[in-house]
Amino acid sequence: MKETKQATAPKKRAVRKTPEEIALMEKAAQKRAAKAKKETASKKTKKTEGTAKKTREKLRIIALGGLDEIGRNLTILEYKDEMIIFDCGLGFPDDDMLGVDLVIPDFSYISQNREKLRAVFLTHGHEDHIGALPYFLRDFHVPVYGTRLTLGILENKLPEHRLEKKPDLVRISAGERIREGAFEVEAIRVNHSIPDSLAFAVRTPVGTVVLTGDFKIDLTPIDGEVTDLTRLGEIGREGVLALLCESTNAERPGYTASERTVGRALEEIFHGCKKRVVIATFSSNVHRVQQIIDTSVRYGRKVAVMGRSMTNILSAARELGYIRIPEGVLIDVEEMRAYRPNQLTLITTGSQGEPMSALSRMAFGSHTQVSLGLDDLVVISANPIPGNDRAVGRIINELLRNHVSVVYSSVADVHVSGHACQEEIRTVMALLKPKYLIPVHGEYKHRAQTKLLGQSMNIPEKNIPLLDIGQVAVVSEKEIKVAETVTAGKLLVDGSGVGDVGAVVLRDRRTLSQEGLVAVVIAADIKEGYLMSQPEIVTRGFVYVKESQALIDEMRDLVRDVADDYLFNSHRIDENELKAKIRDELSRFLFAKTKRRPVVLPIVVRV
């Protein structure tokens, strides 16, 4: 084995430096050290100034709906002179809102700050998140961002509202980032009871805010698109300032069942069933409708659809490819008579007991096309929204009374929620690790439970405010505090009127429904100051005239005496003053006689 000789470099000779050279070198080294120290101090100062500036900056978070209720969701993020909105939903009227069709948020605060408004972002296509947009878009023209299905459902709603300006609808997908002024908004896929649902991570100059929207963690969704937990974890590692978390199912332990659970229940219902199957569900639950259609196809059934919202959403979902229906399966309602009961499935609206819904009219025998009986099996594939329990119960009782078989969530697994239960909420908190938690989307008890879940995940109680509608949460790196309350409330929609039905009108409607109406008509010569004839008394919902003639006569005499006295003794006759005197005196008389306070409506006819 040969050894390789290594060449060695010649040694350099040391050069001796003079004392003067050494002094110059030391001086240069000192200068370099001083410069480096100054640069380091400058960087530290800039970093400290940047941190202080960030601490001083404030983000305002305001909910104009969606708190202490299920519906009317509308959340504002506001930074300096810029504002973005998340969702714009409607709610349904309370029992005491007689004659009211819908309830929407009060947009006054947005109107007062319209120059700040940059955009609207939609989490998904449910009515409680997009239903008020047609009313909002009458007065505001800004970009509206949403997924394909969400915007498809919205576009189907808009023509009936005849907006003056065509809205600026911008399609987005999960994973996209949109810059609107000071805000960068990232869309994140989540599971819900409707496809194309999103959460949003909003990067602001103050920090990142995450809005979950409505979500659950379904590991076996119908469309195979699971909640993007990986991305949520990555955002959590980047740092999350505040989390706005939905609270609807925060009282329920464990996990929400997969949508496929309903598919298995439907299989059991259809297997061996000789009856026509009538299924009522939410029109927007596209995955549920798909499972109903798939099961019907397997058992050789034709499918008919009833209800305007069901027809509209099915049309939009089918056109966009979210629902697949084999050729020849879908038929018109009129064609059902050509098939035997065991060859038919009818999908309908009315799962919440709405009085004018298709299911309600079928149950009470007022539907012109479909009547239900022994050959029908009705499946109510939904849980009642709080407040709708009695209405749904009335329909179930009426169906059973008419010998119709009924299956509902209390007796079979025909419904699963689209909202996260406790462990799913904890999972999201663990991934995001927010500094502040703001529970949203739920009644107070639901949000209070979300607060407890947050505390169990080591979020301090002082960092979890329970806001009221209109309250402003001012958020900084240093703290979160509740500041002033902005204009907020409910706008009532009655027919085509928005906001023209207020507290006074509702009070009158309640009085009319409970106490009735007394109308008084007098004909008077105002100029000469005397009555031309006896007063006429008309009642509705107060007393039956034929059985209460003595009371009617007393009312007529009282009105005549009050009118005669006023007309004879007044120097200047004021028609409104005369009406007020008649109203006051007759109201006092009727309460003394009957202990009731009907609406008294005086009418003066000038002769």
CB 496 within 8 A of CB 487: no
Where do the domains of the chain lie, and which CATH numbers do they carry?
A: 59-254+417-479 (3.60.15.10), 260-408 (3.40.50.10710), 499-606 (3.10.20.580)
Six-digit token string for 416: 């699963």
pLDDT value at residue 445: 96
* CA-atom Rg of the chain in angstroms: 35
What angle (nearest 5°) sits at the alpha carbon of residue 573, between those of residues 572 and 574?
Answer: 115
pLDDT value at residue 125: 93
Q: Would you tell me the crossing angle of helices 286-298 and 308-319 to the nearest 10 degrees? A: 80
pLDDT tens sequence across 333-379: 999 999 999 999 999 999 988 888 899 999 999 999 999 999 999 99
pLDDT value at residue 3: 42
Six-digit token string for 575: 């028609």
3-state secondary structure of 394: helix
pLDDT value at residue 31: 74
| Contact partners, residue 469, CB within 8 Å, separation at least 6 | 63, 64, 65, 66, 67, 68, 488, 489
Query: Would you say how long the chain is, in residues?
Result: 607
- Taking the C-alpha atoms of residue 179 and residue 223, their distance in angstroms, rounded to an integer, is 29
| Contact partners, residue 471, CB within 8 Å, separation at least 6 | 62, 63, 482, 483, 485
pLDDT value at residue 410: 86
Instruction: Give the bridge partners for 471, in sequence order.
Output: 485
DSSP per-residue string spanning 272-304: T--SEEEEE--TT-HHHHHHHHHHHHHTT-EEE
pLDDT value at residue 15: 52
Residue with tokens 């004659």, as numbered in its chain: 99
Please give the sequence-ordered ranges of beta strands (E in DSSP) within 4-65, or none if there are none.
59-65
- Taking the C-alpha atoms of residue 101 and residue 94, their distance in angstroms, rounded to an integer, is 10
- Of 368, 366, 365, 370, the C-alpha closest to 347 is 370
- Of 569, 564, 594, 596, the C-alpha closest to 582 is 564
User: Where would I find the H helices in 385-486?
Assistant: 389-401, 422-432, 444-456
Q: Kindly give the parts of the chain with pLDDT less than 50.
A: 1-14, 49, 52, 496-497, 499-501
CB 123 within 8 A of CB 129: yes
pLDDT value at residue 6: 42
Q: What is the largest CA-CA distance in the chain?
A: 145
pLDDT value at residue 4: 40
pLDDT value at residue 547: 61
Q: Which residues of 339-376 are buried (b: 16+ CB within 10 A; e: fewer)?
A: eebbebbbbbbbbbbbeebbbbbbbeeebeebebeeeb
pLDDT tens sequence across 477-530: 999 999 889 988 888 775 544 544 455 555 555 556 667 888 888 887 777 677
- Taking the C-alpha atoms of residue 25 and residue 391, their distance in angstroms, rounded to an integer, is 93
Six-digit token string for 405: 């078989």
- Taking the C-alpha atoms of residue 500 and residue 506, their distance in angstroms, rounded to an integer, is 11
pLDDT value at residue 5: 40
